[in-house]
Amino acid sequence: MTDSAIEYAAVFQALPGMVALLTPELVYADVNEEFVRVSGRSREQLIGHYLFDVFPDNPNDPAATGMRNLEASLYRVLATGERDTMALQRYDVEDPERPGEWEERYWSPVNAPLHGPDGKVMLILHRVEEVTELIRARGRSGGNRGGRARVLEAELYTRARELQELNDRLRQAHSREREVALALQEAMLPAPRQVGHHRAAVRYRPAVGALNVCGDWYDLVDLVGGDRIGVAVGDVVGHGLEAAGVMGQLRSALSAASRVAEGPAQALDVLGRYAHVIDGAESATAVTTFIDRVRHVITYSSAGHPPPVLVHPDGRTAFLDQATDTPLDARPDPIPRPQAETTFVPGATLVLYTDGLIERRREDIYTGLDRLADALRVHRDQDPETLADTVLLELLPPGGATDDTALIVVRL
């Protein structure tokens, strides 16, 4: 049977559980027949109305948390673009035939995103399973078995409430750590104003989710002797404040080494020796390029990092992958790293990035590299600032990446 032969609207209405579609403003866009039946509200009382106007918390219960918990879950879905399964909730509902009288109800909700063509959350699928009758039936059981059932049910609900509160506290703690780590990263990365005269654009996008602050970094420095600049990016393995701290140490060390090194390979040699004595720098990667504007030459070296891309004015793209070596601190006794060079013509564009831009789960890395090359070729005539925004828009997945992304676009 083809898709065109399936009446999806009829399928939605016939779903056996309570299902509603909510807009990002938490307004009912549609509900199925089971939702209407179990909720005791008509479609007219639901469609087009704000969720919490229809189902507010019980004003007679000062300990009611159902509305707050559900709201937090829905906003998490909007922020992360990921499904959120809630713990068992007590969420009382006002009797539609007896205003002011509230019924004790128990629910098990799941909220899932529906993405639009632009990758943003267009609707939230709100599925609810009511378990009130199960709880009541156990409560009506006779004898000792009924007493034990009531105790177990009370214990289950208590543990569900505790789990919900614990999850909320963990999310708040992780959010605070993420904010501190991001602030630390911003303080240690060079500000765009410091590199504006180089016709360069820099972007940094943190990973989605409270636990995914990583150690990606970038750097642009003026080099000694002639019209030369050094451009580098790197990636520290790990998450949170520790990774951000290691990132700052490695970026500063490479920046200093680049100013006195004969070339990028020597700068990475120095950085590798420094990484050997830094806890948390194991398996960190970096790539650095020295750009000579007078000779129109790019000299580069990579320590296990994805290759930079050189985009020629005619649309040809070349990955600078002829001087790739192991990550920093990968060898107990470092040996000199390889170095290569390539020429460019004025108007070409050099792009450095971290793996968050190209890597996707269950996808070959070359697919991501091809996607990047295609985007750069198509939009090569854009100025660096616009091109950087375009690349992020086209390459980052819906809802954001699960790894940090650093990006530098330099017009040569």
Q: Where are the domains of the chain?
A: 8-141, 145-188, 190-411
Superfamily of domain 8-141: PAS domain (3.30.450.20)
pLDDT tens digits for the chain (412 residues)? 455 567 888 888 888 888 999 999 999 999 999 899 888 899 999 999 999 999 888 888 887 778 888 898 899 888 888 888 787 778 888 887 788 888 888 887 889 999 888 778 999 999 888 877 766 665 555 444 455 555 455 555 555 555 566 666 666 666 665 566 555 555 555 555 444 455 888 888 876 654 455 578 888 888 876 688 899 999 887 666 667 677 778 888 888 888 888 899 999 988 888 888 777 777 889 999 999 988 999 999 999 999 999 999 999 999 999 999 988 877 767 678 999 999 999 999 999 999 889 888 778 888 989 999 999 999 999 999 999 999 999 998 776 666 778 899 999 8
Return the pLDDT at 182. 58
Return the pLDDT at 291. 93
Answer CATH for 190-411 from 3.40.980.10, 3.60.40.10, 3.40.50.970, 3.40.630.10: 3.60.40.10
pLDDT tens, position by position, 176-192:
655 665 555 555 555 55
Return the pLDDT at 26. 93
Return the pLDDT at 211. 46
Return the pLDDT at 227. 82
How many of the other CB atoms lie within 10 Å of CB of 266? Answer: 17
Handedness of CA 175, 177, 180, 186 (dihedral sign): negative
Return the pLDDT at 239. 61
Q: Nearest-CA neighbor of 61 among 87, 86, 94?
A: 94
Return the pLDDT at 287. 94
Return the pLDDT at 226. 65
Domain 8-141 and domain 190-411 have a common topology: no
